[in-house]
């Protein structure tokens, strides 16, 4: 159905990436508790800022649900660090500069702007349960509404466990 074939119930593809604050994020380290892996096109752009700030505001509630959040973009670490510092983002923002992780999750896609076609990151999110299975997939995410959608889905995930 989806281009990548990654569906709810599938095992989350493996990853390991450098992240803001000198951190490293990986599937292995996150397994055992639920997490949200959200892919965004570019640090410090209007939509990405709205989305990141919405998630930052929801962090206390997400934390109560024991949900870890990781943002992923194709940016190098210096612009990611600057973005995290500028908006006080506490959750890790990972650099997928070679877009290998985005390709595994099926979110490195052909895009079009002003008639020009190019490859880029599709704004998508994956809620992964404690067993490492994809519990929820959001494609072409609306930045303004995303934090609320994640909270709702994460709440049902923890109550279903």
Q: Give the tens place of pLDDT for each residue, 51-63.
A: 999 999 999 999 8
Query: How high is the pLDDT of residue 144?
Result: 86
User: Is residue 95 assigned to a domain?
Assistant: yes
User: Is residue 10 assigned to a domain?
Assistant: no
Whole-prediction pTM value? 0.90
What CATH number corresponds to the domain at position 68? Answer: 3.40.30.10
Q: How far apart are CA 121 and CA 97, in angstroms?
A: 11
Query: How high is the pLDDT of residue 158?
Result: 61
Strand positions, DSSP E, 28-122: 35-39, 68-73, 93-95, 108-113, 116-121
Give the catalytic positions in this structure.
48
Query: How high is the pLDDT of residue 85?
Result: 96
User: Is residue 158 assigned to a domain?
Assistant: no
User: Is residue 55 assigned to a domain?
Assistant: yes
How many separate domains does the chain show?
1
| Band of pLDDT at residue 143, cut at 50, 70 and 90 | confident
User: Is residue 151 assigned to a domain?
Assistant: no
User: Is residue 149 assigned to a domain?
Assistant: no
Q: Measured between alpha carbons, how far is residue 46 from residues 40, 43, 143 in Å? A: 11, 9, 9
User: Is residue 85 assigned to a domain?
Assistant: yes
Query: How high is the pLDDT of residue 146?
Result: 87
User: Is residue 51 assigned to a domain?
Assistant: yes
Tokens at residue 84, please? 């995290």
Q: Which residue range forms the structural domain that includes residue 101? A: 16-142
């Amino acid at each position: 159905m989806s281009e990548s074939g990654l569906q709810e119930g599938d095992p989350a593809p493996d990853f390991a990436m450098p992240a803001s604050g000198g951190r490293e994020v990986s599937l292995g380290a996150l397994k055992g508790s639920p997490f949200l892996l959200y892919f965004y096109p570019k640090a410090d752009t209007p939509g990405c800022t709205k989305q990141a700030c919405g998630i930052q505001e929801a962090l206390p509630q997400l934390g109560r649900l024991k949900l870890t959040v990781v943002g992923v973009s194709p940016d190098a670490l210096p612009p990611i660090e600057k973005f995290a510092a500028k908006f006080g983002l506490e959750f890790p923002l990972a650099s997928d500069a070679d877009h290998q992780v985005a390709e595994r999750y099926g979110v490195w896609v052909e895009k079009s702007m002003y008639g020009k076609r190019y490859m880029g990151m599709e704004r998508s999110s994956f809620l992964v349960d404690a067993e490492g299975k994809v519990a929820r997939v959001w494609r072409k995410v609306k930045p303004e509404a995303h934090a609320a959608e994640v909270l709702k889905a994460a709440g049902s995930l923890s109550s279903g466990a």
